[in-house]
Structure 1
Amino acid sequence: MTDQHHDELEQLLLKMDQGELSDAEMRRLGEMIQEEPTVLERYLDHVEAESMLKDSFGAFPNAEAISQLVNLPPVKSLAPAKESVRGWSDHHFVAASLVAVFCLVAVGYLIGTQTGRENVPSDKNVANQLDELPATDIQPTLKENGPTALPGVTLCQITHRTQADLRVRKHDSFSQVSTDDLSAGDYYFDEGNLELLYESGAKMILQSPAQFRLISSKHLFLEKGRINVLCPTQQSRGFIVETPSSLAKDLGTEFAVEVAADKVKQDEFHVFTGKVSLRPKLSPYQLSLSQGEATRLDHATSTPAGIDVDLKRFIRSLSSPSSAYRELILKHNPSVYYEMTDKGDGLTLYNEIEDQYHAKVVQSRQPNNHWAPGFNGGTSLHLDGMISRTYAVVPDYPKAPGNELTVTAWIYAESRPCWGSIAKNWGHKDDPKLRGEFHFGLYRVSGNLEASINDQTDREVFAIEPTPLPLHQWHHVALVVDDHHLSLYRNGELVAQSECEGLNGNPEIKPLAIGTKLGNHSLKPAVNNNSFWDGRIDHLAIIHQSLTAEEIKQLHTTGRASMDRRDSFAQSQ
């Protein structure tokens, strides 16, 4: 950096601290960072000094300079970085402290007044007010002209979009994004999932609702939502995900971030493989997170607090990483098989056996992201019980021609709703004529796994596990009907069995409901106050034969073995 550029930079940083940086000067600062990588290092040093002084003296209620980083244009090349985030030496801190004490009253006043003037109230709803900037109390300040990146330059591409009505800020309003090529800007979407691919090979999966800013080919600001980051190539190494509290720099890894910006206002960082260097904005702590480690930082102080890594919250792949379980299911010739893969329009559960009998997802109330991580690393159908009353329905599907039937699935429960439904072909009210092929879910308010059928004597036969279904974990479940028994399995073990006289469901009850029970001759739920599943359902299959106990155990064993290796890592800790 030349002496002339050094003096110019210091003047710009001083104006930034005083809240007097104009749009033209902001653009000039961006140009300097693009031209000279050492300017970025100096800028980060300046931000860190402000952070530590706030922590030590309490004089900066909401320092504007801390969040200005996200207004900078794309960085052409980052300065060579050390493998871990360096800390502050004593002479850095003393020098910065002397300058800050000298300007304490004036700078503190100016920063405080600018912050109060430019913060957007946090209670503004993006979905209802598209002309407002998506907001949290601590958000990066955005000038009226938006990010200063080169206009029109593609930073990444959308490679997967499910129900994601992506919108981008254009001056004072938001407009729908119709292209898959994304440039620098502010974006948000309220439903579905979005996958972004950078030319470097970096891949991001965002889960709704999400608000984010694309800054450069190696820098993304996440204001709200969940993101999974995969940097598998040398070129993608060093990708930065910024949040209101911190900057997370990839060191050749896969990690996930969640920003909760509505009430709790905190960020979480979870490292699945490799390492991530984490630089908090408002505290002196510098962290290096490795595989299996996670931390949480609040927006007010950026103080880290260690937490357990969560392998079930973030979608890390949009397809099942292992085909072993699928192949085993297909060997049993199912009549229908719903793998719960997030594809197509996002509202269809595709039958993998033939191009018919697909299920349609129905949302009774407010929108809900009905895709979540699956049992083996892909996606699953996510239902949230009474909150949105979401379910799926197949108007008709092939019924068993005789007395043999197997229904199997992987399930995950967040709670145990009254009569919570996995899948049912059943009518409403206690009448043999209203009993279809099977009833599979939870029993009454007890939360015990149950299955029931109507046998050849028109008797309703139940098989009920004696204990409530354990929550917050994946289970392989199956009901099996033969000439003499209704058997219920969980995780490869027989948990209940009742005698029966074959199978005698009313074939006039045609629909298959997933996640609820339907009314008589209706595609709508039978009641509005129970039966909705709260959790996830994955790999639902209906087979017109009675699988043996050994075959059920094999399904569970194969599925458990094909679970994503990240789950296996968690279980070994």
Structure 2
Amino acid sequence: MPEPGKAVPRKAIKLISEIADGVADPGSFERLREMIAGDERVLQYYAEWMDVHARLHYDLGRGRYAPAVARQLSTSDEGALRSATTAERVDRSDRRLRLLIAIGATLAIAASLLIIAPVIVLPSPPGASVARHPEDHPDKRDLRDFRTKGFGEVAVIAESIDAEWKGLPLLRAGSPLSAQRLKLVRGVVQLEFVSGANVIVEAPAEFEIESPMSLSCTAGKFRTHVPQQAIGFVVHTPEQRVVDLGTEFAVEVGSGWTQVHVLDGEIRLEDPSPNGVTIRDGRILGVGQGVSRDSRGHEQPIVAANDRFIGRQQFSEMSNVATEERRKEWEATYNRQATNPDVLLCFGFEGAEPWERVLRQEGPGRVDRLEGAVVGCRWSEGRWPWKQALEFKRTSDRVRMNVPGEYDSVTFSCWIRVDGFDRWLSAIVLTDGHELGEPHWQFTETGQLLLGVKSGQKSSEYLSPSVLQLADLGRWLHLACVYDGPGGAVTHYVDGEAVHIQEIEQPTKLRFGDTEIGNWTSKGFLDHTVRSLNGRIDELILYKTALNELEVAELYQSGRP
């Protein structure tokens, strides 16, 4: 620490302590940087503090010197704090390793202040737009932001048939919707509002979701079913305001005209007055009645036409037909992949009896050693009602397999349903332990995709931003990760879209050996050993080549439910 009589400013001590504890605000980092640049005492104190911090972290993590550390931390003497990690006798190799940790941290700090460089050595401020290292526990604010993100949704896409949205390619069945304007270019969708109202929208359609009790339509067909809990649901059109009174009604909006059809129950039709204010005491229309009105206010009665609009039963039948078509398309693509010579292994999770505990490998190398041993998992429903999947729930659930060979490139492809972000790290495919060249494909509790590859003395971590959200829970997703050794990049994909590309730090041949799906056998590792998946998997393919973007997109398109 600094020499006696040359006290370090208390503000600097407070900032360093807050940063070490992970509770600093974003402005603290810049303030500390300025103090370090202008006062050598602060630099020395910071280096010494991080030395102690690193030693304590190392010793406590090892668990070997905890009693001595606890005794020393019970005192208020600063010297005792510094000597806490040396209170017990340690062997030479441990002492050398900790010294290297401290020297490395100090040199990195000094270098960051002597050289103007784009790499910031001080910890990133909470909320910074960078992916955190998975071994650094996310700041509490990160977790809070992740767990509250998406609140405020007023509706959800319950079902979708061949839907195409303008500017929003990732909207699909299960996607939550907040108040927003939308344009459905093609297909049919069924919206369920949190109030309970159900709306079937036929393209082409333009509309705005306003609230749990309000929808504004400017083009298209909209059939609305309103249960008792949502009486009063409102549909706005350019010409009128339709207020539900416990009913089923439909609205069609064309160019300069609007039709309202009452299919069941009653509605109140409210007309705009000349000054633009809606007349709230409008007219009551009953079942079988309807009105057609143009933009000039000309209106005529019509007979409600039930068959002009897709109803819930018809929509369900159409959905079943579309699902069967999707199944045939998936089977054709899957069968091609199963005979693809670039496929390392291929699990379709199909054809198993409930009592079977073997996951059949259907790729080109159909040998017993590439089959999976099912441990604890239960057979369940997959992407479609007829599709099988394995459900991973308990911390012991896993599939064991052994994959021989070494590979310059590998592509991981998986259809997965995530049911919870309840682990710091959740396994998809992990090798036992983590030796040279062994990959770990998993995701974090804040929805980041991670491929870890042991290269040299450390693990190279290829970590995406938070691309999975709470809204994705319970929904089938296609995840892929491409390790392209010759190309020098790792790419993460979600539903056929590249979401993160990162340069490979140190090209390494990948090898698997004993490997698990949905869990991890740590082999003596102490950190985050519980990585069991909470969810389902119904397809997993490993390629010994790097697939390109078009090939990954095809896997998603042909397999999407």
Larger radius of gyration: 2
Same fold, TM-score > 0.5, yes or no: no
TM-score, normalized by length of structure 2? 0.38
Would you tell me which structure has more helix in proportion to its own residues? 2
TM-score, normalized by length of structure 1? 0.37
